[in-house]
Structure 1
Amino acid sequence: MGQVSFWGMQHGLGVTSSTAAIAALIGMEYQIRTLISQPQWSDRTLERSFHKAINQYNRHSEHDSGSGLDALERVIKSNKMERDTVKNYTLMLERERLDLLRGTDKKEKFQFENSNEVIEVIYQRASQYYDAILLDVHSGNNSVIIDNTLGKSDLIVVCVNQNITLLEKYFDENKESWNMALNEVPHVLLINQYDPNSKYKVRNIMKKYNYKGKIITIPYNTEFKDHINDGDVKGYFSKNRNVTKHHDNYYFIKEVRRAAEMILTEIGVNTHIKSIERGAI
């Protein structure tokens, strides 16, 4: 199966919230082992999005030096890595289905950048245990870890919004804002904060730019944003995953579900076989 990297050309595009939403739904609706992680320096927003679930399943998780990228770096340097070692250093979010690997506590960016090769090994070893690895990658192109992580991915989810300036950057024939990995690695376009009533809806974007690729959307949803701020992404999906089409949150859930299914299919997961009957949890 594979490694999926969520990435944006610039900051402020909802990359972390989309990673969290899709991961939470996959953890609830698919019988596969999924790992989520945020290989970034000085950013723990993905972890904070699942704060309540972390506290529910993991005792003494706050500032736990026994888990995460830094702890695994020490294991690698001591040559003690085994098939399920990464699993043993994660925080459980959904039993047997969704784990979170904490980010770094390194104080200096150059220290984290110098861990590039170690981080690559960590995710390579994780792929021996997990069916899907979802990574919230730092936006932009100014990092060797960004370049390496995207280049080693099986799928890149390029996050944009309906801002015409940003869309022009993505569809620019010269590809000046592209990461080089996009020329080699399969990718799909994800429109965050999506407004279906905008002039720049999916159909019109595809027509304007003569785009034949795959586009998924994550609509804006106030209640979901509140749950992100409350550290309760999992709680949002637990409460809303079975809502009917007349519910205010139905459209958001439907689009996240469609995005999750497309992403898993792209990395070789048979979503029909691996799906869990709704309401079974």
Structure 2
Amino acid sequence: MGQIAFWSPFNGSGQTSSMAALAAVMGSEYHIRCLIAQTKNRDSSLEQSFSRSMNNFSRTLSQVTGARNVSGTGLDAVLRIARSGKLEGGTVKNNAQIIEKDRLDLLSSSDQKDTAKFEAASDLIRSIFDQARKYYNVILLDLPAGDDSELSRKLIASSDIVVVCLPQSRRSLDAYFNQKNWPSTLRGKKTVLLFTQHDPHSKYKAANVTRKYKSSKGLIVPYNTNFKDAFNEGDTKGFYKANKAAERRHPNYDFVSEVQRAAKQLLDEIGIDSRTKRIDAEERGAS
């Protein structure tokens, strides 16, 4: 149904961890089918962040083979199918790893060592995610930060929304608001600002930034040490499950509530009614 691309002017913005946190909310709280993927070849940071929650079949095979991508799964496998002309709506699902059954899948990134060869497949990669829309309600794509490659331009063009991830860095803020390092297809595209690793005590907090640059209000993912540790240890899903009902005085409350708010708004932005798709809403309706 909807495709959301995540992009940032520079590396180190917290883009991948923020997208992972949002995916954990969507997979836990909503009765939707969500796919997440990274489009930078040989980057497994997103996959690693959910490693403790991957289905046992995929994890066991990975351990036996010693490989990150199991043969027959991931973006490389789907690319082989696409080249053979047999790409269908369910192809991505059949080659993705399960994080939350029937609700959240991950398509492993490519192991292609030749960047030029990977970029040459940009039309095929775009068609893969176009086909994936026939099964998934929402697709979250983690694009390389600061990238203006042909692949990133095509995926931005085909996305319904681009989430621009901005840390509290003067360099990143100036680069974005002065339209430096922008992919050409970002101009005129529907964007949502996401202030990542946000510290409300910083001079560059979201309210001050939007005032200074005369920008619309953005979404926030606060900095949270406990979440960062869980992300690095492959327990992104477990962290959210353990903290999603945290009370107001809990140290993780602000992080969880802001991520929940951001996930809800992004779903609404792409035409998914977050109110009726909430799992607890369905339970109330059935009672």
Please say whether Structure 1 and Structure 2 have the same fold, judged by a TM-score greater than 0.5.
yes
Q: Equivalent residue for 2:7? A: 7
Q: Deviations over 1:127-179 (max 9, x none)?
A: 1110000011111134211111112111000011112222122222xx23222
Q: Equivalent residue for 2:201? A: 197
**Alignment of 1:89 onto 2:109:** no
Q: For 1:19 and 1:267, how far apart are their aligned partners in 2? A: 16
Counterparts in 2 of 1:49 and 1:9: CA distance versus 1, 3 Å = same
Pick from 273, 277, 280 the counterpart of residue 280 of structure 2. 277
Shift of 1:181: 2.0
Q: For 1:79 and 1:145, how far apart are their aligned partners in 2? A: 20
- On the 8 A contact 1:57/1:93 being kept in 2, the answer is no
Q: For 1:152 and 1:214, how far apart are their aligned partners in 2? A: 24
Q: Where does the alignment leave 5 or more consecutive residues of structure 2 unmatched? A: none
- On the 8 A contact 2:3/2:138 being kept in 1, the answer is yes
Counterpart AA for 2:192? V
Q: Equivalent residue for 2:260? A: 257
**Alignment of 1:36 onto 2:36:** yes
Q: Which segment is superposed worse, 55-64 or 89-98?
A: 55-64
Report the number of matched residues: 276
Q: For 1:57 and 1:27, how far apart are their aligned partners in 2? A: 20
Counterpart AA for 1:176? K
Q: Equivalent residue for 1:217? A: 220
Q: Equivalent residue for 2:270? A: 267
Q: For 2:243 and 2:15, how far apart are their aligned partners in 1? A: 21
Question: What secondary structure does 2:248 align onto?
Answer: coil
Instruction: Give the TM-score of the pair, scaled to structure 2.
Output: 0.92
Q: Deviations over 1:175-214 (max 9, x none)?
A: 2322222223211111111011122222222221222x24
Q: For 2:272 and 2:124, how far apart are their aligned partners in 1? A: 27
Q: Point out 4+ residue stretches in structure 1 off by more than 6 angstroms.
A: none
**Alignment of 1:48 onto 2:51:** no
Q: For 2:2 and 2:173, how far apart are their aligned partners in 1? A: 27
Q: Equivalent residue for 2:24? A: 24
Q: For 2:206 and 2:112, how far apart are their aligned partners in 1? A: 40
Counterpart AA for 1:13? S
Q: Which segment is superposed worse, 116-125 or 191-200?
A: 191-200
Q: Which segment is superposed worse, 73-82 or 254-263?
A: 73-82
Shift of 1:55: 4.8
Instruction: Give the TM-score of the pair, scaled to structure 1.
Output: 0.94
Q: Deviations over 1:201-234 (max 9, x none)?
A: 22222221222x2401111111111111111101
Q: For 1:20 and 1:38, how far apart are their aligned partners in 2? A: 11
Question: What secondary structure does 1:87 align onto?
Answer: helix
Q: Equivalent residue for 1:176? A: 180
Q: Which segment is superposed worse, 55-64 or 256-265?
A: 55-64
- How much is the aligned-residue C-alpha RMSD, in angstroms? 1.5
- Equivalent residue runs for 1:19-168 within 5 Å: 19-56=19-56, 58-62=58-62, 63=67, 64-168=70-174
Q: For 1:152 and 1:146, how far apart are their aligned partners in 2? A: 10
- On the 8 A contact 2:148/2:182 being kept in 1, the answer is no
Counterpart AA for 2:279? I
Shift of 1:59: 4.9
Q: Deviations over 1:88-136 (max 9, x none)?
A: 1100000110000011011111121111111011100001110000011
Q: For 2:8 and 2:194, how far apart are their aligned partners in 1? A: 10
Question: What secondary structure does 1:177 align onto?
Answer: coil
Percentage of matched positions with identical amino acids? 42
Q: Where does the alignment leave 5 or more consecutive residues of structure 1 unmatched? A: none
- On the 8 A contact 1:40/1:104 being kept in 2, the answer is yes
